[in-house]
Amino acid sequence: DGGITQSPKYLFRKEGQNVTLSCEQNLNHDAMYWYRQDPGQGLRLIYYSQIVNDFQKGDIAEGYSVSREKKESFPLTVTSAQKNPTAFYLCASSREGAYEQYFGPGTRLTVT
Amino acid sequence: GEDVEQSLFLSVREGDSSVINCTYTDSSSTYLYWYKQEPGAGLQLLTYIFSNMDMKQDQRLTVLLNKKDKHLSLRIADTQTGDSAIYFCAEENTGFQKLVFGTGTRLLVSP
């Protein structure tokens, strides 16, 4: 059963703590993406990676970091430098050269 | 700029047709996409249209593309309560190999 998994579905953290969100895909896709979604708003691109060991900043990369050590995995770390980290985070992937993206179920992060 | 615009809200009765509109900016986009998001879930790819097409039909879904006006629409025939969701259009940003999403249209279908 191919797809994208994100874990956990809900995550709670105290302010000042770093937290890492997991994203794994078994679709053999080269490209992976992280988006942030706030209530009533669209998706904003945080980081994306077209190939292993390479990634680019999206529109709102400040306060976030990523790594792409394996093709299947693209974890996102929300650092304490991110001013408003509470949001719904979505991971997606696509084939090389294709723009059609497939999404995971999302992780809702709440920071208090 | 990279603004993909959609109206925020649409309310219809069950059995009616729904039309969700989108204006995009990148005239070099090869494909344009429609995604559906149910509450608390990820986005599901509904359909897409190639830029050299004017129309694409897929069961209850019809996509219309007006390249001159950079206008895209999604028509859902015989709308059901299960169609209640947020619908996003997306264009390709060919320069950076990424998608640019609209703000989303929340469709509410009442019985």
B71-102 pLDDT tens trace: 999 999 999 999 999 999 998 877 767 888 99
Give the three-state DSSP class for B6.
strand
Q: How far apart are CA B47 and CA B67, in angstroms?
A: 17
Minimal Cβ distance to B97: which of A50, A104, A105? A50
Q: What is the pLDDT of residues A34-69, one digit of tens each?
A: 999 998 778 999 999 999 999 999 999 999 999 999
Q: How far apart are CA A17 and CA A30, in angstroms?
A: 31
CB contact under 8 A, B97 and A99: yes
CB contact under 8 A, A42 and B33: no
Residue carrying the six token digits 């219809």? B12
